[in-house]
Amino acid sequence: MTFEEMVQLAKERKFQMPEESSTTQLFKKGTHAIGKKLVEEAAESWMAANYESDENLALELSQVLYYVAVMMAEKNLSLDEVYEKL
């Protein structure tokens, strides 16, 4: 999955709000809950980089990217708006 596909998935989940989705619960709680999850995954990535395998690091980093996409969906930020800042 590309980052672009991940952003699209997050947007779809926000629109559809499937009850079985943990992402739906985050959307219901808003930016504070999404931000906490993003920070948690960033910290886990840092710890994985220092103490775990590259495979675990890749998993943690993929989760950081997902929650970035979720925050983008929550705040209605487009890829172009984010890419302009890179």
Would you say the pTM of this structure is higher than 0.85? Answer: yes
Three-state SS at 27: helix
**Contacts of 73-77 spanning 24+ positions with Cβ under 8 A:** 73/7, 73/10, 73/11, 73/13, 73/14, 73/27, 74/14, 74/27, 74/30, 74/31, 74/34, 75/31
> If the chain, 86 residues long, is cut into consecutive pieces of 10 residues, what is the mean pLDDT of each piece?
96 95 95 98 98 98 98 97 96
Count the alpha carbons within 13 Å of 11 in the hemisphere toward its beta carbon: 11
The pLDDT value given to residue 85: 96
The pLDDT value given to residue 53: 97
Tokens of 16: 């559809």
The pLDDT value given to residue 29: 97
CATH classification number, 3-83, choose in 1.10.287.1080, 1.10.730.10, 1.20.120.1760, 2.40.50.100: 1.10.287.1080
Rounded CA-CA distance 85/55 in Å is 29
